[in-house]
Amino acid sequence: MHIQLLGTAAAEGIPAPFCRCRVCEHARKHGGKNIRSQTSALIDGVLKIDMPPDTWHHTVTHGLNWCGVKDLFFTHSHGDHLCVEPVIMRLPGFSNDCTEPLVIYGNETVLGTLRAPTQSSPEHIQRRLLRAFEPVVAQTATVTPLPADHIVEENCFLLWIERLGKTFFYAHDSGWFPEKTWAWLEGKRADGVLLECTMGDRPNRRGHLGVEALLEASTRLREIGVIDRNTTVVATHFSHNGHLHHEELESRLNPAGIQTAFDGIKIAL
Residue whose C-alpha is closest to residue 1's, from 218, 192, 177, 202: 192
Our finding on whether 243 is near Zn ion (CB under 5 A) is no
Cα separation, 11 vs 79, whole angstroms: 7
Identify whether the C-beta of residue 245 lies closer than 8 Å to the C-beta of residue 23.
yes
Cα separation, 14 vs 26, whole angstroms: 10
Cα separation, 67 vs 75, whole angstroms: 21
For the CB of residue 52, give the shortest distance to Zn ion in the complex, in Å. Answer: 8
Residue whose C-alpha is closest to residue 53's, from 34, 77, 71, 79: 79
For the CB of residue 265, give the shortest distance to Zn ion in the complex, in Å. Answer: 17
* Binding segment toward Zn ion, per CB under 5 A, in 24-32, 41-49, 58-66, 141-149: 24-32
Measured between its terminal Cα atoms, the distance across the chain in Å is: 5
Q: Which is nearer to Zn ion, 19 or 265 (CB)?
A: 19
Which residues have a Cβ under 8 Å from the Cβ of 219 and sit 6 or more positions away? none
For the CB of residue 166, give the shortest distance to Zn ion in the complex, in Å. Answer: 25
Write the interaction track for Zn ion spanning residues 162-181; mark x where CB under 5 A is met and - where it is not: -----------x--------
For the CB of residue 164, give the shortest distance to Zn ion in the complex, in Å. Answer: 27
* Binding segment toward Zn ion, per CB under 5 A, in 97-105, 180-188, 240-248, 259-267: 240-248
Our finding on whether 24 is near Zn ion (CB under 5 A) is yes
Our finding on whether 19 is near Zn ion (CB under 5 A) is yes
Our finding on whether 149 is near Zn ion (CB under 5 A) is no
Q: Which is nearer to Zn ion, 240 or 246 (CB)?
A: 240
Query: In 178-232, which ranges are continuous DSSP H helix?
Result: 179-185, 211-223
For the CB of residue 93, give the shortest distance to Zn ion in the complex, in Å. Answer: 30
For the CB of residue 223, give the shortest distance to Zn ion in the complex, in Å. Answer: 27
Q: What angle do CA 158, 164, 165 make, to 5 degrees?
A: 80
Specify the 3-state DSSP secondary structure of 36: strand
Our finding on whether 50 is near Zn ion (CB under 5 A) is no
Cα separation, 101 vs 224, whole angstroms: 39
Residues 60-119 that bind Zn ion (CB under 5 A): 78, 80
Query: How many C-beta neighbours within 10 Å does residue 225 have?
Result: 14
For the CB of residue 196, give the shortest distance to Zn ion in the complex, in Å. Answer: 8
Q: Which is nearer to Zn ion, 53 or 192 (CB)?
A: 53
Our finding on whether 240 is near Zn ion (CB under 5 A) is yes
Specify the 3-state DSSP secondary structure of 55: helix
Our finding on whether 16 is near Zn ion (CB under 5 A) is yes
Identify whether the C-beta of residue 108 lies closer than 8 Å to the C-beta of residue 129.
yes
Task: Please count the residues of this chain forming the interface with Zn ion, following the rule CB under 5 A.
Answer: 8
Our finding on whether 58 is near Zn ion (CB under 5 A) is no
Q: Which is nearer to Zn ion, 155 or 231 (CB)?
A: 155
Identify whether the C-beta of residue 53 lies closer than 8 Å to the C-beta of residue 84.
no
Query: Given the rule CB under 5 A, which residues bind Zn ion?
Result: 16, 19, 21, 24, 78, 80, 173, 240
